[in-house]
Amino acid sequence: MRYIKDVQTKYSYELVVCGGGMSGFASAISAASKGIKTLIVERNGCLGGVATSCMVNHLLGAKHVDSSTESLKKNISGLFDILADRLISKNYAIDPNKTALYDNPHGWYSTLAEGLVVSSEGLKMEMELMCKESGVDILYLSHICDVIKDESSISHIIVHNKSGLFAIEGKCFVDATSDADIAVYCGCPYIKGRETDGLMAPASLMMHLENVNTEKLRTYIRENNEHRFKKLIKVLKEKGIWSFPYDIFICVQLTKPDTYMINTIRQVGVDGTDGSSISNAIIDGRDESFRLFEIVKKHFPGFENSAILRIADNIGIRETNRIKGVYTLTVEDLIENRKFDDTIAISSYGWDLPDPNKPSIQPMEKTKRKNCYTYIPYRSLLPLGIDNLIVTGRSISVQRDALGPVRVMGPCIAMGQAAGLASYLSINSCCSYINIDITNLKNLLVEQNCILDL
């Protein structure tokens, strides 16, 4: 069946940012700060992406515990710090510098002490305020269906919302969809999932619990060295109580002392680019969350009087499409701690990308690196074949086993800030993304207090 419809151009912008998650938000703010007329097109009714719509209230990868000084060391600043400071000042976030590094309720592992714990509602509000202050326009509840392009550039994206089907014109476009949707629509080469079989890391539907006895929980963890409750789960498995395919329990205290994010469910076989697969995963995940809660309430110390506060409406997807870019960040780059002349962001997060079939297994966990830092080159953001498109977030050009340090929200904000400034240079110089002056880009990043070397 063939369907043909005329569409009108409803809006025209210099920069169109496709996706309003952490990376798209940073792209828009940084471009608008240089005077670029910018629009964010977002499918949800809020900014923040996984951090808000999926209730993953833990922004990771921006700081790391320096073992020699037992203090936090920054590897990402710029917009991340601006946003963090605003959130902390309004009690929308927990200041990680004020939590005990080796005994804290924010993930329980010292290596996660760098996480910024935020309030979803506060984050939504603050991101919108920053967009208003910067002059960024936002179009919510709008789905990008296709693109209009010639051989090497996009002229419009096709969007559908309650106004119908229409086109948005732009000079440059940022693909911050997390799934490389725009690059895929353009026919750019990409890889989905694991190179050998296309399988992807497990998905997770988040659950928040309230009325948790934090002191009792903390005491049990200390006395039993039970950071992820493997010992307790082993006992429950032997008794036939725990039947889930994962053997870890992850709880992160949120901005209220008795409220916790439960990041435990690991759903295998989910394709985050397939509508039916996502729908089924949400249905199954909600059912599994209730079953998990009943076990936790009955058997986990501190959770005896807890209650379900909320289960996310959207499922958290760790992995889908990755573009084949001008440069592909490799596992060897991470192992050797390679720096690049065009580094635009640094992550301090670990390998963290679960096996598609074994949710509690981290295939790269024992692979040693020279240190914990991942340098991300600008060229990895550039898809092949389209001059006025830049990709940011977890769908950049990276080997699958090197995706873990790249995909979390700290480096996504840093990449987004670089993509926005690159858009400014591209528009201002009337050149393609690949032909911008890298020295100018790095100078702009330094001016905005971004960290490009350690």
Whether residue 5 contacts residue 164, with contact meaning beta carbons closer than 8 Å, is answered with no
pLDDT score of 99: 58
Report all structural domains of the chain as residue ranges with CATH numbers, in order of start: 9-197+320-355+375-447 (3.50.50.60), 207-311 (no CATH)
pLDDT in tens, 189-217: 999 999 999 999 999 999 999 999 999 99
pLDDT score of 102: 42
Q: What is the mean pLDDT of the chain?
A: 93
pLDDT in tens, 147-168: 999 989 999 999 999 999 999 9
pLDDT in tens, 385-418: 999 999 999 999 999 999 999 999 999 999 999 9
Residue 218 banded pLDDT, cuts 50, 70, 90: confident
pTM assigned to the model? 0.95
Instruction: Compute the average pLDDT of residues 134-143.
Output: 98
pLDDT score of 98: 65
For residues 293 and 201, give the distance between their C-alpha atoms in angstroms, rounded to a whole number. Answer: 23
Instruction: Compute the average pLDDT of residues 298-303.
Output: 97
pLDDT in tens, 41-75: 999 999 999 999 999 998 999 988 777 776 778 89
Residue 116 banded pLDDT, cuts 50, 70, 90: confident
Which residues are within 8 A (CB) of 98 and not within 5 positions of it... i.e. 6 or more apart?
A: none
Q: How many whole angstroms from its chain centre is CA 136?
A: 21
* Res 108 pLDDT > 70: no
Which structure tokens are listed for 179? Answer: 């799934």
Residue 429 banded pLDDT, cuts 50, 70, 90: very high
Whether residue 407 contacts residue 335, with contact meaning beta carbons closer than 8 Å, is answered with no
